Chain A
Amino acid sequence: MSESVLVFIALNAILAYSFYAVLVAGQLSLGQAGFAALGGFTAAALAPAPSEVGDLPALLVAVVIGMVVGALAAVVLGLPTMHLRGVFLAIATLGFAEAVRILLINAEWTGGANGMSVTKVVTPVIAWVCLALVAYWFWRQGPSSYGRALAAIREDELAARAMGIDVGRHRLSAFVTAGAVAGLYGVLWAYYVRLLAPEDFDFARAIDGLVMAVVGGSTVWLGPLLGGAFMTSVPEVLRSIGVEAGWIRPFISSALLLVVIIFLPGGLGSLLPRVGARAPADLAEGGEGLAPRSGRALPSPGETVVRVSGGNKDYGGVHAVRDVDLTIASGEVVGLIGPNGAGKTTLVNMISGLVPPSSGTFEVLGTTPGRTAVHKVAQAGVSRTFQHSKLFPRLSALENVLVGAHVVSRPTFLRRLLWLPGARRDESQVVVHAARCLERAGLGDRSREDAGSLSYGDQRRLEIARALAAEPSLLILDEPAAGMNHVEADALSRLIGSLAAEGLTILLIEHNVGMVMRTCDRIVVLNFGEVIAAGTPEEIVNDPAVVEAYLGGDDATPPGTETEEVR
């Protein structure tokens, strides 16, 4: 393999990593060519000449400048665009990259279209060392709490928020990482090809990087390396096996790209054996993991956990929730029932901060949901499941629960980079903790399966395990027994009972009224967004308004009848 092929594999892989950095967080950015161009040109203009200070020192200074400029550009672009998603983010960043290219073409100091000449310093060894460092970074990032948080954001942003992950901050930091890596690429490119021209950082280059990252596999840390190697070697192989120069070569390259995409979901990286977090064989091993991890004491029994007064939610004239007053004290198990469309889910969405109320005051564990960011509410001790499962489908069951433990685990990424022993200890503790939560939910033997491939009932249980991992003070369960059979529902009742016995405050929405009756201390009934009754299970069963609401409804199910939501 010739020198340049080696270097270009490394450079292309680094470019691919700059896309990987954001793809792992589910962001599609095409601004990397712009970051690379800014980094490369600034470094080439500001760094001392290799002839004056020597090759390596000059390159090092240039790399630092390039990475800093790339990262700064990412901050500047990231702040106004972080609220954009998907294609919108892609096109906004693309617009930025094109704007950068036009600025560079029109600027005097860059030499315009004729570019800037730069001394060649980069050798295959330097390129591969840089690649190794970048790959190392992402290898250590993957299974850290930070890496899992990014994966969670990619899989389901809303659920990630509800697990206490500060999505904005995480997305921005992923973006900045991409900017720094792209800046590195720009500098290495400049110091290898000798002539730095704006046209080398155009839309096509951004597409190149994206293609390599996706072909390699955007969820596997070695993916960008594989993608870079693959896309770089295809033209070389075609050349060396004597395919005639001309149309046939781009034709074959494009066809190969299509074939890989169609027949290898997950890219070339999916060919590698997958290593995920592994549950410890014996849960008793890490005994010290027994202690509460949050350092956050449960509120003392009887203390007010939730106070809602005059809670309202309008959706364009439709009153989903109106004038609801609700107080929940610590240690209570409160059931929330009502016919479909009564506003139960809207109410808990407001309590957990996912939906801002139209009016009314909400106080939950010292926070003000609606005004306090969702992740802050979660960090205060609110954890929940969702009516329609919002798991992270491409993460294993154990990894899902590990994300749940985000608010009670210490950040490990930086320590993992340096192989500090504390990181490993923290990681294994949190894994033991997560495995116990799985075990409690009855999923001990499913820990390595992808959440998306679990049965419906198992998915419901996994949501509960994930919510438990956050060691919440207030646990909100939105129809946890939906789709479960009697045996499973009974097991769930027992689990809720034992959690309550530990002093957890629980708010339970459930259609299985029998279960609600058995488990709850107090029941609140909603109909058409209003509280029509509240009291002990006995009071509720005998309340005429409740009976009326249920019998009058479309799919009326009078309380006291065992029922299962069939989906």
Chain B
Amino acid sequence: MNTTVKTLALAGSLALILSACGESGDDNASGGGELAGSGSGDSCVIEAPVPVGAALSLTGAAASYGESQRKGLELAAEQLAEQEGVTYELTVEDDATDPRQGITVFEQFAEDQSVIIGPTLSNGAFQAQPIAQEAGVPVVAISNTASGITEQGDYIFRVSLTEAQVIPQTVEISKEEFGLEKVVVMYSNDDAFTESGYDVFASALEEQGVEVLDTLTFSKADTDFRALLTEARAAEPDAIVVSGLIEAAIPLVTQARELGIEVPIIGGNGFNNPQLMSETGDAAEGVVVGAAWNSASEGELNTAFLADFEEKFGHQPDQFAAQAYAGMTVIDHAVRAGCSGEREAIKENLGAVSDVETVLGTLSINADRDAEHPAVVQVVEGGSFTPLN
């Protein structure tokens, strides 16, 4: 290699490293205007746009959830901007499903954002959210369902229901509906979300006196479940209970039907996705999904959300999009309540959120900073989710 190329390459890498050094802090999104406004509620007027940072997994293993969340947030920010008085400057950043980038993104957001949304995955949340807590920036978790998320500090809030708020109800209603006595449980044991989902399923089943014939584990990257399903079939259960993500749900449900397993399949939050029907066809019939969002809700907000989302993005939203959308609704409510886009005010008012109408239903934030709103148990019938009870 000749010297010129070497020099160029050296200069290039130096420039790269130097520009990495000089990156922080100069584009303060709140620039210029005042974040404290006048008025309150609907009449609140804040001069500067309120900076909202969202750290989502747009690439890497969790990209499909992050992408849904981004769409939900963008739709919400766009619609909120049409209302008088308060606008939001939404910055969506990618953590590439990598804790290293998640931490870095949170650190950057902690410098210049009024409120942070995310991250997508619960493990990432445990790694990144303490940074916001230390910097005193309120965080709204929109998809983390693991226990302990909000215990990290008084700046951490969430609008997504925990498994403990969804699954016991799912088990109870399914038991009534199908007369469950014995089930087989399957879950992916290398994923924090599905493993904590399993824990709740296990204790709910025990509480309801349903016998667990067998517990089978798989990896979140698996797509061939025939061996496991054959085992499950041999146990002759009344239903198969699955704590898995949608990536697993689609092949799992199809293969179960293909192997002749006709008993109900009961899933958690991970199954609440229109792809379940669009990608499995008839196989999804009879799948029971306990979820935080009732996609079939006739509520005015929800029907409008479904229509607007479909119009903007050309497909149906999933629960991740709906929760993201609701997250922005809750933030907007908190900002307007104090009529301030400053961190402390948002934090105070997030804690006081009570009976806010969202696409998820009427939502309140409790003393533990967790959301409370109705959960739903749905069954797939005729190619769409319908409430089971």
Touching chains A and B, CB distance < 8 Å: yes
Distance in Å: Cβ of A157 to nearest Cβ of chain B: 28
Residue from A193, A247, A249, A263 within 8 A of B5 (CB atoms): A263
Given known contacts A240-B19, A249-B59, A230 and B13 CB-to-CB distance under 8 angstroms: yes
B20-A199 in contact (CB<8A): no
Cβ B59 vs Cβ A113 within 8 A: no
Q: Once the chains bind, are A114 and B20 in contact (CB under 8 Å)? A: no
Selected contact of A239 from candidates B17, B21, B93, B123, CB within 8 Å: B93
A189 vs chain B, min Cβ distance (A) = 9
Instruction: Please tell me if A81 contacts chain B, counting CB pairs below 8 Å.
Output: no
Task: Determine how close the nearest CB of chain A comes to the CB of B134; give it in whole angstroms.
Answer: 9
The answer to whether B195 touches A113 (Cβ under 8 A) is yes
- B-contact bits for A106-127, CB 8 A (1 contact / 0 none): 1000001111010010000000
Q: Is B58 touching A1 in the complex (CB atoms < 8 A)?
A: no
Q: Tell me, in angstroms, the Cα distance from A200 to B98 when the chains sit together.
A: 8
On whether A195 and B123 interact (CB within 8 A), knowing A113-B192, A246-B59, the answer reads yes
B16 on interface, CB distance cutoff 8 Å? yes
Kindly list chain A residues whose C-beta atoms are within 8 Å of the C-beta of B122: 114
Identify which of A5, A112, A120, A197 contacts B20 (C-beta below 8 A): A5
* B49 proximal to A (CB < 8 A): no
Chain A: minimal CB distance from B250 (Å):
21
Give the number of chain A interface residues (Cβ < 8 Å).
Answer: 45
CB distance from A170 to the nearest CB of B (A): 31
Q: Does A53 contact B (CB under 8 A)?
A: no
Q: Do B59 and A237 have beta carbons less than 8 Å apart?
A: no
Choose one: B5, B23, B92, B146; the contact of A236 (CB below 8 Å): B23
Q: Is the CB of B107 within 8 A of A233?
A: no
| Chain B residues within 8 Å of A285, by CB | none
Of chain A, the residue at the smallest CB distance from B134 is: A120
Name the contact of A245 in the complex, choosing from B6, B9, B58 (C-beta under 8 A).
B58
- Among A4, A198, A233, A264, chain B packs the most CB atoms within 10 A around the CB of A4
Report chain B residues within 8 Å CB of A12: 100
- Expressed in whole angstroms, the minimum distance between the Cβ of A534 and any Cβ of chain B is 54
Q: Are B16 and A115 in contact (CB under 8 A)?
A: no
A4 touches which one: B94, B103, B192 (CB < 8 A)? B103
Q: Does B74 contact A (CB under 8 A)?
A: no
Q: Which residues of A contact B17 (CB under 8 A)?
A: 229-230, 233
Contact of B96 with A by CB under 8 A: yes
User: Which of A1, A112, A271 is in CB contact (< 8 Å) with B6?
Assistant: A271
Interface centre among B23, B94, B100 (most CB of A within 10 A): B100
Q: Is A8 an interface residue (CB 8 A)?
A: yes
Q: Are B130 and A245 in contact (CB under 8 A)?
A: no
- Chain B residues lying within 8 Å of A2, measured Cβ to Cβ, are 23-24, 104, 107-108
Choice from A8, A113, A230, A270 contacting B16 with Cβ under 8 Å:
A230
Q: Is the Cβ of A246 less than 8 Å from the Cβ of B58?
A: yes
A-chain residues with CB within 8 Å of residue B195 when the two chains form the complex: 112-114
Report whether A112 and B189 are in contact in the complex, using a CB–CB cutoff of 8 Å: yes
Closest to B123 in A: A197
Tell me if B126 is interfacial: C-beta within 8 Å of chain A.
Answer: yes
Contacts of A237 in B (CB 8 A): 16, 19-20, 23
Q: List, in ascending order, chain B residues with CB within 8 A of A239's CB.
A: 23, 93, 105, 108
CB-CB nearest in chain B for A199: B190
* CB proximity of A261 to chain B, nearest CB, Å: 12
Interface bits B27-58 vs A (CB < 8 Å: 1, else 0): 00000000000000000000000000000001
- Chain B residues near A226 (CB-CB < 8 A): 13
The reply to whether A106 and B126 form a contact with Cβ atoms under 8 Å apart is no
Q: Indicate whether A268 reaches chain B with its CB closer than 8 angstroms.
A: yes
Nearest Cβ distance between residue A280 and chain B, in whole angstroms? Answer: 29
- Min C-beta distance of B200 to chain A, whole Å: 12
A48 touches B (CB below 8 Å)? no
Is A241 interfacial (CB-CB < 8 Å)?
A: yes
Evaluate whether A115 and B123 lie within 8 angstroms (CB atoms) in the complex, with A3-B107, A245-B94, A271-B10 already known: yes
Q: Does B247 contact A (CB under 8 A)?
A: no
Among A3, A112, A114, A249, point to the contact of B94 (Cβ < 8 A).
Answer: A249
Is B273 located at the chain interface by the 8 A CB criterion? Answer: no
**Is B191's beta carbon under 8 Å from chain A?**
yes
A234 close to B (CB within 8 Å): yes
Q: Which of A193, A229, A250, A265 contacts B103 (CB 8 A)?
A: A193
Q: Are A194 and B59 touching (Cβ within 8 A)?
A: no
The reply on B101 being an interface residue by CB < 8 A is: yes
Instruction: For the complex formed, measure the closest distance between the CB of B132 and the CB atoms of chain A, giving whole angstroms.
Output: 13
A113 touches B189 (CB 8 A): yes
Determine whether the beta carbon of B13 is less than 8 Å from that of A268: yes
Q: Which residues of A contact B99 (CB under 8 A)?
A: 193, 195, 200
CA distance A543 to B108 in the complex (A): 89
A234-B191 contact in complex given A239-B93, A250-B59, C-beta closer than 8 Å? no
A483 at interface by CB-CB < 8 Å: no
Chain A residues positioned under 8 Å from B105 (CB to CB): 239
Q: Is A298 an interface residue (CB 8 A)?
A: no
Report the separation of the CA atoms of residues A268 and B99 in the bound assembly, to the nearest whole angstrom. 26
Chain B proximity of A367: nearest CB distance (Å) = 46
Complexed CA–CA distance, A388 and B19 (Å): 50
In the bound complex, residues from chain B placing their C-beta under 8 Å from that of A532 are none
Q: Quick check: is B223 within 8 A (CB to CB) of the other chain? A: no
Is the Cβ of A194 less than 8 Å from the Cβ of B130? yes
Minimum C-beta distance from B79 to chain A (A): 22
Q: Is the CB of A114 within 8 A of B130?
A: no
Most buried by B among A112, A245, A271: A245
Determine whether the beta carbon of B96 is less than 8 Å from that of A197: no
Interchain CB contact under 8 A, A271 and B24: no
B196 at the interface (CB under 8 A from A): yes
Confirm or deny: B230 has a beta carbon within 8 angstroms of a beta carbon on chain A. no
| Contact present for B104 and A263 (CB under 8 Å) | no
Residues of chain B with a CB closer than 8 A to A246's CB: 58-59, 94
- A350 and B194 CA atoms in complex are apart in Å by 62
Partner of A114, one of B23, B101, B127, B196: B196
Determine whether A134 belongs to the interface, using a CB cutoff of 8 Å to chain B.
no
Q: Which residue of B lies closest to A192 (CB)?
A: B103
Interface residue? B227 (CB, 8 A) = no
Q: Which residues of chain A have C-beta atoms less than 8 A from B194's C-beta?
A: 113
- Across the interface, B190 reaches (CB within 8 A) one of A8, A113, A195, A265, namely A113
A253 CB to closest chain B CB, in angstroms?
Answer: 9
How distant is B173 from chain A, measured CB to nearest CB, in Å? 27
B104–A236 touching, CB < 8 Å? yes
Q: Which of B1-18 contact A (CB under 8 A)?
A: 1, 5-6, 9-10, 13, 16-17
Question: Which B residues touch A115, using CB under 8 A?
Answer: 123, 126, 192
Q: How far is the CA of A12 from the CA of B100 in the complex (A)?
A: 10
Beyond A114-B195, A200-B99, is A271–B104 a contact (Cβ under 8 Å)? Answer: no
B189 to A106, Cβ gap below 8 A? yes
Asked if A233 and B20 make an inter-chain contact with CB atoms under 8 angstroms apart, the answer reads yes
A8 pairs with B104, CB closer than 8 A: yes
Q: Which residues of B contact A229 (CB under 8 A)?
A: 17
Chain B positions 57-80 with a Cβ under 8 Å from a chain A Cβ: 58-59
Q: Is A235 in contact with chain B by the CB < 8 A criterion?
A: yes
Minimal Cβ-Cβ distance residue in A for B92:
A245
Q: What CA separation (Å) do A106 and B218 show in the bound complex? A: 11
* B110 nearest in chain A by CB position: A2
B197 shortest CB reach to chain A, Å:
11
A454 contacts the other chain (CB 8 A): no
What are 30 A-to-B residue pairs whose CB atoms are below 8 Å?
A: A1-B23, A4-B103, A4-B104, A5-B20, A8-B104, A12-B100, A105-B189, A106-B189, A113-B191, A113-B192, A114-B146, A114-B192, A115-B123, A115-B126, A117-B126, A120-B130, A193-B100, A194-B126, A197-B123, A230-B16, A235-B101, A239-B93, A245-B58, A246-B94, A249-B96, A263-B5, A265-B1, A270-B1, A271-B10, A271-B13
Chain A residues engaging chain B, CB cutoff 8 angstroms = 1-5, 8, 12, 105-106, 112-115, 117, 120, 193-195, 197-200, 226, 229-230, 232-237, 239-241, 245-247, 249-250, 263-265, 268, 270-271
| 8 new A-B contacts at CB < 8 Å, known A1-B21, A12-B100, A263-B9 | A2-B107, A4-B107, A5-B104, A113-B189, A199-B190, A239-B93, A240-B23, A270-B1
Closest 5 A/B residue pairs (Cβ): A240-B23, A245-B94, A233-B20, A195-B126, A113-B195
